Structure 1
Amino acid sequence: MIKILVSACFLGEKVRYDGTSQQLLNQSLLSWIHNKQVVSFCPEIAGGLPVPRQPAEIQAKSQRILTCDGVDVSAQFNKGAQRALTLCQQHHIRFALLKESSPSCGSTTIYDGTFTQEKMSGEGVTTKLLRQHGVRVFSEKNITALIAELASFSEKPSPH
């Protein structure tokens, strides 16, 4: 069975920086949950950050992740990304549905590091690491592409 790593905030878990969720209501996601295909994960929590916490953004020049009050939380973000990769490897997960624009999970856009709500092209640290290891990452913005890919995907037996 195909497993999908899904941002915990999409599943109603209050793990976002502001203590809220970003629940995603989608029939396919509900079906995946029902079929026990979903592995819930929040890289920021897995990296040791609390809820709530200060908002953080990737700084374009240094690629460090700083909170709005200047605290460097890069180590926690990288630890969470590594834990996401380990989880994917343990469960043979090849697909992820992660929160767009997050400094961890963004897949096409991230906030620009100025804390002005401006976005730029880029990917979060978890998305980047997962993609480097062959995991296909999607967001709520392109969930239809994930649905189509999963519908046409058939797992092939591994050659031994």
Structure 2
Amino acid sequence: MKIIVSGCLLGNNCKYNGGNNYNENVVKFLENKDYIVICPEEMGKLTIPRVPSEIQYSKTADEVLKNEAKVLSKNGDDVTKYFIDGANKALEIAKRNNCKLAILKDGSPSCGSNYIYDGNFEGKKIYGKGVCARLLENNGIEVISEYDVL
């Protein structure tokens, strides 16, 4: 079984600010496992670096996927299309490779599996899913965060 994993957790500089979220526990967990590295935001054609984005006004990823809510950048640009496109590409890769598990970066508007930010760019976390995480879950793929890997 192949595993989908957020590239930033492996040290790839694909985070919004051009950095990464390297996580040694994830790297150790993946030793001797078959995995595929993704970055849904990069796959959706967002630049690196990029202006931070959040799902707006405590809305859900399901609402974004149904075009009932938006993902906006901190400067007010509607970047919803990029997030949905990247999530769809990640899902296509997961399906093509029969992936049943994804380890994604929590807090991300794409990859958050336990929490996201509330959409006001004030650093307030709320329970919720990122767009890609939710799409993968809606299609039967288990999504966990770096905090769930021990």
Equivalent in the alignment of 1:138: 144
Give, in angstroms, the shift of residue 38 of structure 1. Answer: 1.5
Partner of 2:101: 95
Paired residues in the alignment total: 141
The one-letter code of the counterpart of 1:83 is K
1:6 paired to 2:12: no
SS at 1:6's partner residue? strand
Hey, what does 2:17 align to over in structure 1?
A: 18
Deviation at 1:29, TM superposition (A): 3.2
Q: Following TM superposition, by how much is the alpha carbon of 1:36 offset from its aligned partner in structure 2, in angstroms?
A: 5.0
TM-superposed deviation, 1:30: 3.0
Show structure 1 runs of 4+ deviating over 4 A.
none
Distance 1:45 1:96, change over 3 A: same
CA distance in 2, matches of 1:143, 1:55: 26
Tell me how far apart the structure 2 counterparts of residues 112 and 63 of structure 1 sit (CA, whole Å): 13
The offset of 1:35, in angstroms, is 2.5
Identical positions, percent:
40
> RCO greater where, 1 or 2, for CA within 8 Å and sep 6 or more?
2
Root-mean-square deviation (CA), in Å? 1.3
- Take 1:21 and 1:112, find their aligned partners in 2: how far apart are those partners? 22
Contact 2:29 2:149 in 1 (8 A): no
1:80 aligns with 2:86: yes
Cα shift at 1:143: 1.5
Aligned partner of 1:106 among 109, 112, 126 = 112
Q: Partners of 2:29 and 2:41 in 1: how far apart?
A: 26
Letter in 2 for 1:21: N
Q: TM-score, normalised by structure 1?
A: 0.84
Matched, 1:66 2:72: yes
Q: Which ranges in structure 2 are unaligned for 5 or more consecutive residues? A: 60-67
* Structure exhibiting the larger radius of gyration computed from Cα positions: 1
Letter in 2 for 1:29: V
SS of equivalent to 1:39: strand
